[in-house]
Structure 1
Amino acid sequence: MPAQSKAQQKAAGAALSAKRGETKVSELQGASKDMYESMSESELEDFASTERKGLPDKKD
């Protein structure tokens, strides 16, 4: 399932980075923290790899 906004894609990228141990979980906040706790690494990869071109800044 691809991300539906640039904000979602960015939050998924931050959560994925924490899942992989590249950043600290304590640095996450808001949506990225929720995504980290509720989504698998493969789901986060799908969201984070979404092409940003043409996506709205935020989901309505």
Structure 2
Amino acid sequence: MPKAKSKAQQQAAGAALSAKRGEIDRSELEGASIEMYESMSEEELEDMASASHKDLPETAGDS
């Protein structure tokens, strides 16, 4: 299962998951969230969004 590589990616997965579940409208998604919504299953999004973000950088390019 995919794991988030940054806090930004984890937040995008959370937004996409909310849209998959019908909690928010798909039109509210932006950027990576749209791609995740279209290409990932609810289970994959759940896994990515729920991972601990304690040691994750803000963005994937941060060390």
* Corresponding residue of 1:21: 22
Moved over 4 A (4+): none
1:1-60 equivalent positions in 2, closer than 5 A: 1-60=2-61
1:2 deviates by 1.4
Aligned length: 60
1:6 deviates by 0.3
* TM-score scaled by length of structure 1: 0.96
Q: Which runs of 5+ in 2 are unaligned?
A: none
* TM-score scaled by length of structure 2: 0.91
1:19 deviates by 0.1
Distance 1:46 1:3 in 2: 9
Aligned residue identity for 2:14: G
Q: Which runs of 5+ in 1 are unaligned?
A: none
Please provide the CA RMSD for this pair. Answer: 0.6
Distance 2:17 2:53 in 1: 17
Q: Percent identity?
A: 67
